[in-house]
Chain A
Amino acid sequence: MPLYESVYIARPDISSTQVEALTADMTKIVEDNGGKVTKEEYWGLKSLAYRIKKNRKGHYSLLNIDAPPAALTEMERNMRIHEDILRYMSIRVDEHEEGPSAMMQSKSSRDDRDRDRDRGRGRDDDSGPEKTASPVPAPASAAAAAEVPAEPVISDDAPASDSKDTEE
């Protein structure tokens, strides 16, 4: 049986569990027609490079399929009818790539970076105001409380005594 790769984009309004259900439906159609799905990948909600049916984002899913051509045409027919699917593309490949696809690899690295950046930003956001709010005024007030009485007393005493001394 020929090997296929099928990618479809689902509407952004639906949840990721609904996308999984959709993938399960498509898998069932393939299996009913004597094929099998060797791998499923959910790429997540990605922003589209251009608008499709007025949508700016979409849920991307990839299916690696080993099925007779009839099964694939049947699946494509169902995808065409389905309202939640914005676009699909099935291509025949000589061999399925093993392991996660380039998209998943780049996505995971990007997610890590995003998460790091978000975490960094969140940490900054969280710690920034705290630092400015609590530690800065507290030492300032403490320093003011500690230094203000101490310094003027000394300075007052010193010049006062000096002036008194000089005056006297």
Chain B
Amino acid sequence: MSRRPFFRRPKSCPFSGDNAPKIDYKNVKLLQRFTSERGKIVPSRITAVSAKKQRELSTAIKRARNLALMPFLIN
């Protein structure tokens, strides 16, 4: 049986479930995984973060940016 085209395996949110990491503006290493090479926030349809957690995540990234822990843009 060949793989069905356009079939996507259901991905689960990386911030839900047991021992999921807590979204925190101080945890730059974690936040950096959800930004692109240019420093943009990666959309949740790619990272499979749930809508609620994506809102939390974007707030945390913006806080980290304000404190110069993360860049607004990378040239």
Contacts and interface: CB of A to CB of B under 8 A. Distances in A.
Contact of B26 (A9, A52, A103): A103
Interface of B: 24, 26-30, 63, 65-72
Nearest to B39: A49
Nearest to A110: B29
Contacts of A96: none
Kindly name the residue among B28, B68, B71 whose own CB sees the greatest number of chain A CB atoms within 10 A. Answer: B68
B44 to A, nearest CB: 22
Interface of A: 7, 9, 46, 48-50, 52, 58, 60, 62, 87, 89, 91, 97, 101-103, 106
Contacts of B67: 7, 9, 60, 87, 89
A50 B68 contact: yes
Contacts, number: 41
A50 B66 CA distance: 10
A7 B70 CA distance: 15
B69 A49 contact: yes
B72 A50 contact: yes
Contacts of A46: 69
8 A-B pairs with the lowest CB-CB distances in the bound complex, closest first: A102-B27, A48-B68, A49-B71, A103-B26, A49-B68, A102-B26, A101-B26, A102-B24
17 contacts: A7-B26, A9-B68, A49-B68, A49-B70, A50-B68, A50-B72, A58-B68, A62-B26, A87-B67, A101-B26, A102-B24, A102-B27, A102-B28, A102-B30, A103-B28, A106-B28, A106-B29
Nearest to B70: A49
Kindly name the residue among B27, B69, B71 whose own CB sees the greatest number of chain A CB atoms within 10 A. Answer: B69
